[in-house]
A and B are shown apart, each in its own frame.
Chain A
Amino acid sequence: MQCDVLIVGAGGSGLVAAINAHESGAKVIVLTKEYPTRSQTCMAQGGINAALGNAGEDSVESHIANTLKSAHGLADESSVEFLCSNAPKALEWLDSIGVPFSRTDDAKIAQRKLGGASSSRACYAQDYTGLKILHTLYDRCLALGIEILSERYLLECITNTTDSNLDVSGVSVLNKRSGEVEIYSAKSVILATGGYSRVYNTHSTNSVSTTGDGIATAYRAGASVSDMEFVQFHPTAMKNSAILISESARGAGGYLLNSKGERFTNELAPRDEVARAIDDEILKGEDVFLDIRHLGEEFIDEELPQERKLARLYENVDPVYELIPIKPVAHYTMGGIEVDKNSQTSIKGLFAVGECSNHKVHGANRLGGNSLLELVVFGKQAGENAASYSKNKSQHISVDSSTCSLVDDAMSNDTLINFYEKQKELGELFYLYVGVKRDKSTLEEVKGKLLDIKKDVAKMGVEDKSKIYNTNLIEFLEFKNILEISELILLGAINRDESRGAHYRVDDMQEDDSRFKAHTVINSGVLKYED
């Protein structure tokens, strides 16, 4: 199969990129390991930021200032400016294609407050904002006739070297249904494959699919990754299930309470601060709860219907009358594939967008409402740039269609060790020691344990020998990606001897601008700090 622009991932950023590449005249194919509309984007609840001023005064300047403050010096100012100043246009576009945003009485898009924001800036559709944006984008793709191929799992980025430059020429994927390796050749490739919060296994709000496949694949192909140690813990996941309760619950006036019924922190501080405050309480032996009872049933049913449903279903509490038990869990990964001002990675023709990329707009701590915005603003940029790159590239480079050693190895490995157990073990280790708070010596210990697991990988494999729909195989390949990503997180976390945003080191609690106001960039195992 051949096309101009090949997009891997059909979440929000992949579909926005697809629409824009298509509208720029490129022949586009989108591949997804699931189906479109099943990605992580559908789980975004709170909103999408734009300084529209529909619910009180606001300005692009304030949006920029709030984003930079939360980023703790690690965001790129011009990227943040690009993001925030394009936000109103992004919302206008979403509105024009039919996203059913909630409305104000004067018929404008409704906005509400999220943490770290100086105004009510998050546009929302009840608490189904991501779901409704994603589905509308999907409908738009259908209207444009964009080809989306489901259930293709990304194996490798295919590259070749021209004039001593690494150049992308396509990807190989595993067709989950047939079990065959398929090669897609393309003039440019956009990775829109999502983040890596599932490194924390069940201690994450994320979909089970958020295993950093695109990042690990790009890294293996020779791309740089950056700021991998910055993992955002969402303050309010439900205690038993780790399912998210949106920040908009606190934005609307929800309280955080300990077992004594006392408030203990500013609920609307940026997420890193709130997560640490909760962690402190838990370490003191307190249980922590989210209290939205005083918001009233009518408000909750109107603005937060999903939260009520989830709390009843997964925690067996009705938040109209009861407290919701919560804990912080891994929610969003700021790090990702290093990209330049054009969304291009260090491999020519390979672009990245969305949570798998690092556009340096979130820095050390993302603001709620900025990730949905990121996928629209940079999705457009990546789609347009990949299309124009493909126009300037005259020919497809023929790609080798041999079988993939990844699959062969996985199928022929011994199965002496159950990899699911190791995945769980690693998730526990990361949650405990590479989580809200970290310590250099324990990070080193975790690294030792990780390397032990990696050493045993040859003894872990796939018991299911079926070619057809082998989820055991897919999950093993995802587990291998998790191992690679884990090592990158640890490398960044161990070397960054300071505390900044979501990376909080109990053995080094100060920000050290002289050494670390810089991005951690890793390529082929070599770590550098770059401005």
Chain B
Amino acid sequence: MTVGLKLTPLSIVGYSNMKIKIKREEFTEYEVDLENVTLLEVLNEIKTTQDPTLSFSSGCRSSVCGSCSVRVNEREVLACSYHPKDGDVIEPLRNSPILRDLVVDMDKAYDFNAKAKAWQSSLSKDVALTPEDEKMNEIQSDCILCSACYSACPVYAVNEEFLGPFSLTRVWRYVSDKREIDSKDKIDVIQTNGVWDCTLCNECTVVCPQDISSKADIEKLRARSSMAGYMDPSFANFGGGFGSFDGSPSF
């Protein structure tokens, strides 16, 4: 019955159990007897053997569907690619309403893709793309919409309507695509609650499991905006940009 499963001789090596805290209505501590596993495997173990009421989302187990992002010790991770250790504190993502335990409602976050018009506006056939053209947005199109960047973004503390890191990366993914002939709509729409609202704090880049830098994409979109005749409204209004919220360097 246990083909493919190797029993870990925990008691023999005297392996101590791992305790983790999970934020539910209150912080709840769980103890598991596992070694060399992902956080997702730990959550599954808890749910299937200890507490079936624990709620979390998961899908592919292989870091590509974006379902299982949570915060561990105040840092966004995919549960399926994080190896937990004793004392870890697990919380749901920020900036989205908590539905239950580690599950948040992503509808509003996802809606920003539509608000930012993150799609190809001009459907064109037979546009020749070289490997260099394709490289322009190869990394950006690796996005799995896990929402880690959205959770890590400090702008939502002051502006709930900020289009946000993943949507703006998605806009750049299409704006930079040679097949997109008409990107004006997208450049227009990202002027409000968009590229200029970002503090360039780089938190999004740090937490991205796919090594995407939304901050860098936003800077590229700012340059495109300037080329289209737009300017940073904070320069216009205040005569100078404001610093980032968390004091981290802007560049």
> Which residues of A approach B to under 8 Å, CB–CB?
34-35, 37-40, 42-43, 92, 95-98, 100-105, 107-108, 125-126, 128, 131-132, 135-136, 139-140, 142-143, 150, 177, 202-203, 207-209, 239, 241, 243-244, 306, 309-310, 313-314, 327, 418, 420-421, 424-425, 428, 431-432, 462-464, 466, 468-472
Contacts of A34 in B (CB 8 A): 57, 59, 67
Contacts of B174 in A (CB 8 A): 98, 139
What does the 1/0 interface line of B65-76 toward A look like (CB < 8 Å)?
111000000000
- Which residue from A103, A177, A425 sits with its C-beta under 8 Å from B131? A103
Contacts of A208 in B (CB 8 A): 58-59, 61
Q: Which of B134-142, B220-228, B237-245 contacts the other chain?
A: B134-142
- Which residue from A97, A107, A244, A425 sits with its C-beta under 8 Å from B62? A244
**In chain B, what residue has the closest Cβ to A465?**
B53
B32: min CB distance to chain A, Å: 15
Contact between B52 and A100, CB atoms less than 8 A apart: no
**In chain B, what residue has the closest Cβ to A238?**
B62
Is B177 at the interface (CB under 8 A from chain A)?
yes
Contact between B113 and A142, CB atoms less than 8 A apart: yes
- Using a CB-CB cutoff of 8 Å, which residues 94-117 of chain B contact chain A? 99-101, 103, 105-107, 110, 113-114, 117
Contact between A43 and B60, CB atoms less than 8 A apart: yes
**A418 in contact with B119 given A100-B177, A105-B131, A150-B107 (CB within 8 Å):** no
Contacts of B125 in A (CB 8 A): 92, 95-96
Q: Which of B58, B114, B134, B144 has the most CB of A within 10 A?
A: B134
Contact between A241 and B64, CB atoms less than 8 A apart: no
Pairs across A and B, CB under 8 Å, 7 listed:
A35-B110, A35-B145, A100-B134, A100-B173, A104-B131, A143-B119, A310-B62
Contact between B62 and A243, CB atoms less than 8 A apart: yes
Contact between B53 and A472, CB atoms less than 8 A apart: yes
Query: How many residues does chain B have at the interface if contact means C-beta atoms less than 8 Å apart?
Result: 60
A44: min CB distance to chain B, Å: 10
Contacts of A43 in B (CB 8 A): 60, 62, 64-65
Alpha-carbon separation in the docked complex, A143 to B174 (Å):
12
Alpha-carbon separation in the docked complex, A95 to B105 (Å):
32
Is B143 at the interface (CB under 8 A from chain A)?
yes
Contacts of B180 in A (CB 8 A): 98
Q: Which of A100, A108, A140, A150 has the most CB of B within 10 A?
A: A100
Contact between B56 and A471, CB atoms less than 8 A apart: yes
B210: min CB distance to chain A, Å: 9
What does the 1/0 interface line of B169-182 toward A look like (CB < 8 Å)?
01001100101100
Contacts of A462 in B (CB 8 A): 52
Contacts of B28 in A (CB 8 A): none
- Which residue from A103, A135, A177 sits with its C-beta under 8 Å from B134? A103
**A469 in contact with B103 given A313-B81, A463-B53 (CB within 8 Å):** yes
**A139 in contact with B64 given A150-B107, A177-B105 (CB within 8 Å):** no
